[in-house]
């Protein structure tokens, strides 16, 4: 018998996941800027300092390279650190630690060392935080061998991906879109770990495959609903894991619908959408009835004014238009 559902938010689901992980395993601790006394820049860790104390909820200096490196070292030493980076833009300051240490040590040590570190960070735009706090740079990390990259778009994934990530012997990066933290809905009271190897079909369809992840999922589902009003049945795929990509689910869907549109909040040039589009052409070319479409952010630093920020991001009308173009309508 299934557990009764409770009403919660994405923020609360992430907090519950962190709390459960710390209760289950004394090696787990959280570190990052403002995660303790302030309760987290997005209030994810609010209350955890009082519950677990400063040894396990560690406020760090404003030095991403320093505390991410410390988290990597702690993981090498047998701990299970959860490292929070305030925003993906700031993660460029610790890219060296992630690229040259976390992702390479297993290989360079001949398999002698594992780096079971989980690095969480906020990504995306929509809150008028201007260009230095609003970009989607997941594709940079999805480019790097040696790490896993996930993007929870639902309450169940926000709740369940963390524990699965902590059980991985290699580094896992979790990208949480800023526009999801206030998202509310029902979640099973006993919701637990989820698979992070497979994409999910969030809406079945027969006419076009809409492929997306993270903060763009809700917009893509809304676009599919609008298309359905005109008799167009769009299939919506939530990638969930950005590295490694679940090619099997993508290609099976595109092989049936014969059309694909990729919705990606990253910039179009060198985007994750470009990688997925290339894979579709490589593996499904003879099944395609139309060119692969892409809906991406405008190639500008994300603006501060609300109307310009909205104009720079993928929105429902642009997704609908791309799907119609794929169908020649």
Could you tell me whether strands 184-188 and 5-9 are parallel, antiparallel, or unpaired per DSSP bridges?
antiparallel
Residue 143 designated active-site: no
Report helix, strand or coil for 257.
Answer: helix
Gyration radius from the chain CA atoms: 20
Could you tell me whether strands 5-9 and 57-59 are parallel, antiparallel, or unpaired per DSSP bridges?
unpaired
The residue count of the chain comes to: 329
C-alpha span between 62 and 85 (Å, rounded): 10
Question: From the candidates 12, 64, 275, 309, which is the catalytic residue?
Answer: 64
Other beta carbons within 10 Å of 54:
10
Residue whose structure tokens are 């929070």: 84
Centroid of chain to Cα 81: 19
User: Could you tell me where the DSSP H helices lie in 25-154?
Assistant: 48-52, 64-76, 95-97, 105-108, 138-142
C-alpha span between 59 and 39 (Å, rounded): 10
C-alpha span between 120 and 138 (Å, rounded): 12
User: Could you tell me where the DSSP H helices lie in 44-126?
Assistant: 48-52, 64-76, 95-97, 105-108
CB 273 within 8 A of CB 296: yes
> In terms of C-beta density within 10 A (0-12 exposed, 13-18 middle, 19 or more buried), how is residue 317 classed?
exposed
Residue 133 designated active-site: yes
**Of 133, 162, 132, 136, the residue nearest 150 (C-alpha):** 162
Question: From the candidates 12, 33, 84, 133, which is the catalytic residue?
Answer: 133
C-alpha span between 144 and 128 (Å, rounded): 30
Catalytically annotated residues: 64, 133
């Amino acid at each position: 018998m299934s557990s009764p559902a409770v009403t919660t938010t994405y923020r609360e689901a992430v907090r519950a996941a962190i709390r459960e992980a710390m209760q289950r395993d004394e090696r787990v601790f959280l570190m990052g800027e403002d995660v303790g006394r302030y309760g987290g820049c997005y209030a994810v860790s609010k209350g955890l300092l009082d519950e677990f104390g400063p040894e396990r909820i560690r406020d760090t200096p404003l030095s991403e390279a320093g505390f991410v490196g410390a988290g990597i070292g702690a993981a090498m030493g047998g701990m299970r650190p959860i490292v929070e980076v305030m925003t993906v833009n700031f993660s460029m300051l610790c890219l060296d630690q992630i690229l040259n240490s976390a992702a390479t040590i297993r290989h360079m040590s001949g398999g002698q060392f594992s780096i079971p570190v989980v690095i969480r960070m906020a990504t995306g735009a929509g809150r008028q935080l201007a260009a230095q706090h609003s970009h989607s740079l997941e594709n940079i990390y999805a480019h790097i061998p040696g790490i896993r990259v996930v993007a929870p778009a639902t309450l169940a994934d926000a709740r369940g991906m963390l524990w699965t990530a902590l059980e991985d012997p290699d580094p896992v990066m979790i990208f949480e879109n800023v526009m999801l933290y206030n998202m509310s809905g029902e979640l099973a009271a006993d919701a637990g770990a989820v698979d992070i190897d497979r994409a999910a079909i969030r809406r079945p369809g027969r006419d076009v495959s809409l492929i997306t992840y993270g903060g763009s999922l809700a917009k893509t589902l809304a676009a599919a609903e609008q298309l359905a009003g005109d008799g167009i049945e769009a299939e919506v795929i939530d990638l969930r894991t950005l590295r490694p990509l679940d090619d099997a689910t993508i290609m099976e869907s595109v092989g049936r619908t014969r059309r694909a549109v990729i919705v990606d909040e990253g910039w179009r040039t060198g985007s994750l959408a470009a990688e997925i589009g290339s894979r579709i052409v490589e593996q499904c070319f003879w099944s395609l009835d139309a060119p692969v479409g892409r809906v991406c952010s405008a190639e500008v630093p994300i603006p501060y004014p609300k109307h310009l920020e909205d104009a720079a991001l993928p929105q429902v009308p642009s997704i609908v238009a791309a799907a119609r173009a794929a169908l020649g309508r």
